[in-house]
């Protein structure tokens, strides 16, 4: 039974369907609406996952081609790889933390002012794995390890969406959703920077394309063209001899098909997002009204891709450029070489680009995603020593929230041992409880009204919104 529940919670599609079902029941929806409203979010997330798998299937060999073409050797951050290694040693602990963490998330949303329910199941699974791996190094085990790990995971599942909800409202046009992805700190940083250096009115989301270049209005076409050129360049650099180890196709044919297939994956993601939002958000009103008042669904980063589709491509390229430069800097200082992982640079870089674009326009998109790319190079290098002691030195986590938590817990354990872990838990508990006793204070992400979250740029006088 425990294994069955774990499987449900680790599958975002089932979790979204379950949440939608409960919400519709609370709204006393008729049977036909109950059926369609439950199945559509499931289908939407399966479609989103299918599109993501297509994207990953093209990015994985692209990373290998870049390594071969430019003769790079180092560590490639990959959440799935490190989780697969850790599961062999810490499978029971990870599963238990996952379940306890989800319960803590619901309790926190119910009884505190942090009203966010984290629905990205695979990321909670990754976080549970990180917690089990790092906490056991402090000597914690059994119930202690599971309860503390679950508390940290559940607390961050509620706190991380709240930190940047003021930005997420702007990005999503106040659509009633929150960021449910553990790269959130990177996205909020991009929004913070973009708001201060850019002009949100001059954004990629509002870009006007001339009739001569009208085909570029279709984001799928734009993505395909850009990715074909990227694949062609790296394949030519790698050379035909190496490419024969990747594919039996002609180098040029492979590059064209790979780039266009990538664009197809992005298009599938967009359509999946539409299915999710069309029914999940309305159904969530039932939970918000009946079970957990004012609760907000925190959803996967790819759900935000439709809000600034051109920024998805620009953010990816800017983040990758930052990763390459960061790798060069690491090499200069003889630090562990972090090879840009194409998957995190696409999903995290694209999302950072969207946040930067919606808060700071084109400049915010490029700069915000670029700085995020630097973080994806530097932070994993600092996490490696901690993971190396656990036998995971061949790889590392890729997304910023995982790395920040890993570095923080490792430092606390090094300095204070298990007492430091309990002390950190107490501090987080205080942060969760105190706002509930201060009537005039809301949680950090909601301290400003929607309008006041918008950038106050020089062109504000011309704003006609």
Q: How many CB atoms lie within 10 A of CB 79?
A: 24
The C-alpha atoms of residue 195 and residue 193 are separated, in whole angstroms, by 5
The C-alpha atoms of residue 222 and residue 327 are separated, in whole angstroms, by 28
In this prediction, residue 27 carries a pLDDT of: 84
Token representation of residue 400? 């910023």
Determine what percent of the chain falls in helix, strand and coil, rounding each to the nearest 5. Answer: 80, 0, 20
- Residue 179 φ/ψ, nearest 5 degrees: -80, 120
Report whether 228 contacts 260 (CB < 8 A).
Answer: yes
Confidence of residue 367 (pLDDT cuts 50, 70, 90): very high
Q: How far is CA 121 from CA 23, 105, 312, 400, in A?
A: 18, 12, 23, 17
Find tokens 């599961």 and name the residue: 87
Confidence of residue 448 (pLDDT cuts 50, 70, 90): very low
pLDDT of 213 strictly over 60: no
Residue in 308, 443, 388 with CA at minimum distance from that of residue 75:
388
The C-alpha atoms of residue 271 and residue 4 are separated, in whole angstroms, by 29
Q: pLDDT: is 50 or 356 the higher one?
A: 356
Token representation of residue 307? 């809000």
In this prediction, residue 392 carries a pLDDT of: 57
Q: How many CB atoms lie within 10 A of CB 206?
A: 14
Confidence of residue 52 (pLDDT cuts 50, 70, 90): confident
pLDDT of 180 strictly over 90: yes
pLDDT of 196 strictly over 70: yes
In this prediction, residue 298 carries a pLDDT of: 93
Question: Is the pTM for the entire model greater than 0.85?
Answer: no
The C-alpha atoms of residue 372 and residue 325 are separated, in whole angstroms, by 12
In this prediction, residue 158 carries a pLDDT of: 95
Q: pLDDT: is 55 or 103 the higher one?
A: 103
In this prediction, residue 91 carries a pLDDT of: 67
pLDDT of 186 strictly over 50: yes
Token representation of residue 152? 């940290």
Q: How far is CA 377 from CA 25, 83, 133, 194, 342, in A?
A: 46, 20, 22, 20, 12
In this prediction, residue 437 carries a pLDDT of: 78
Give tens-digit pLDDT for 65-87. 877 877 766 677 767 666 666 66
Q: What is the mean pLDDT of residues 125-134?
A: 85
Confidence of residue 357 (pLDDT cuts 50, 70, 90): very high
- Length in residues, the chain: 465
Torsion of CA 133, 417, 106, 85, to 10 degrees: 0
In this prediction, residue 462 carries a pLDDT of: 41
In this prediction, residue 205 carries a pLDDT of: 80
The C-alpha atoms of residue 9 and residue 291 are separated, in whole angstroms, by 19
Sheet of 296-299, strands arranged across: 116-118, 296-299, 178-179
The residues near 365 (Cβ < 8 Å, ≥ 6 apart) are: 190, 194, 198, 203, 204, 308, 311, 314, 315, 318, 353, 354, 356, 357
- What's the angle, vertex CA 184, arms to CA 148 and CA 177, rounded to 5? 100
pLDDT of 302 strictly over 60: yes
Report whether 292 contacts 108 (CB < 8 A).
Answer: no
Find tokens 């999302």 and name the residue: 351
Find tokens 């359509």 and name the residue: 271
153-157, 225-229, 383-387, 451-455: least confident range: 451-455
Find tokens 């309008």 and name the residue: 451
Give tens-digit pLDDT for 389-424. 555 555 678 899 999 999 999 889 889 888 999 999
Percentage of the chain surpassing pLDDT 70? 82
The C-alpha atoms of residue 312 and residue 409 are separated, in whole angstroms, by 32
Task: Report how far Cα 242 is from the mean position of its chain's Cα atoms.
Answer: 33
- What's the angle, vertex CA 88, arms to CA 87 and CA 91, rounded to 5? 45
Q: How many CB atoms lie within 10 A of CB 434?
A: 12
The C-alpha atoms of residue 82 and residue 390 are separated, in whole angstroms, by 11
Report whether 348 contacts 301 (CB < 8 A).
Answer: yes
The C-alpha atoms of residue 455 and residue 170 are separated, in whole angstroms, by 10
The C-alpha atoms of residue 320 and residue 314 are separated, in whole angstroms, by 10
Mean pLDDT of the chain: 82
pLDDT of 464 strictly over 60: no
In this prediction, residue 449 carries a pLDDT of: 46
Domain layout of the chain by residue ranges: 1-164+182-438
CA atoms in the 13 A half-sphere facing the CB of 122:
14
Q: Kindly give the residue spans of alpha helices, DSSP state H, lying in 208-341.
A: 219-238, 240-246, 251-286, 309-332
Token representation of residue 362? 């084109």
Q: What is the mean pLDDT of residues 351-363?
A: 96
Q: How many CB atoms lie within 10 A of CB 437?
A: 8
Q: What is the mean pLDDT of residues 21-36?
A: 87
Q: What is the mean pLDDT of residues 267-291?
A: 76
pLDDT of 20 strictly over 90: no
pLDDT of 463 strictly over 50: no
Q: What is the mean pLDDT of residues 360-376?
A: 96
pLDDT of 447 strictly over 50: no
């Amino acid at each position: 039974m425990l294994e069955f529940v774990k499987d449900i919670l680790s599958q975002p599609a089932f979790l979204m369907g379950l949440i939608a079902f409960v919400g519709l029941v609370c709204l006393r929806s008729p049977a036909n609406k109950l059926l369609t409203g439950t199945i559509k979010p499931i289908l939407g997330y399966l479609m989103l996952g299918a599109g993501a798998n297509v994207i990953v299937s093209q990015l994985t060999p692209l990373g290998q081609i870049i390594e071969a073409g430019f003769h790079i050797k180092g560590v490639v951050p990959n959440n799935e790889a490190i989780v697969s290694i850790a599961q062999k040693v810490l499978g029971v602990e990870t599963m238990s933390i996952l379940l306890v963490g989800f319960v803590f998330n619901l309790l926190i949303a119910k009884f505190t002012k942090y009203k966010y329910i984290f629905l990205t199941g695979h990321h909670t699974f990754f976080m549970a794995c990180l917690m089990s791996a790092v906490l056991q190094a402090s000597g914690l085990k059994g119930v202690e390890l599971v309860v503390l790990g679950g508390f940290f995971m559940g607390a961050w599942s509620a706190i991380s969406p709240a930190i940047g909800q003021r930005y997420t409202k702007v990005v999503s046009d106040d659509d009633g959703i929150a960021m449910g992805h553990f790269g959130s700190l990177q996205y909020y940083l991009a929004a913070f920077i973009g708001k201060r250096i850019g002009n949100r009115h001059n954004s990629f989301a509002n870009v006007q394309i001339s009739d001569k270049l009208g085909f570029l209005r279709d984001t799928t076409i734009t993505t395909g063209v850009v990715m074909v050129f990227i694949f062609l360049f790296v394949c030519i650099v790698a050379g035909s001899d190496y490419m024969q180890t990747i594919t039996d196709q002609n180098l040029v044919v492979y590059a064209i098909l790979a780039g266009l297939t990538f664009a197809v994956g992005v298009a599938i993601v967009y359509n999946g997002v539409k299915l999710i939002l069309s029914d999940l958000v309305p159904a969530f009103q039932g939970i918000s009204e009946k079970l957990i008042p004012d609760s907000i669904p925190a959803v996967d980063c790819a759900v935000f891709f439709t809000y600034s589709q051109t920024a998805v491509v620009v953010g990816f390229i800017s983040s990758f450029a930052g990763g390459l430069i960061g790798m060069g800097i690491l090499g200069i200082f003889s630090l562990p070489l972090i090879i840009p992982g194409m998957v995190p640079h696409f999903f995290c870089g694209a999302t950072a680009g969207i946040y930067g674009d919606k808060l700071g326009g084109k400049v915010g998109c490029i700069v915000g995603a670029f700085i995020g790319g630097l973080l994806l190079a530097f932070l994993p290098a600092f996490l490696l020593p901690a993971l190396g002691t656990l036998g995971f030195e061949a790889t590392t986590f890729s997304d910023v929230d995982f790395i920040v938590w890993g570095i923080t817990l490792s430092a606390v354990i090094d300095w204070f041992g298990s007492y430091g872990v309990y002390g950190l838990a107490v501090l987080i508990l205080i942060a969760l409880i105190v706002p509930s006793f201060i009537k005039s204070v809301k949680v950090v992400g909601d301290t400003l009204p929607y309008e006041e979250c918008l950038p106050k740029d020089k062109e504000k006088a011309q704003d006609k919104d």
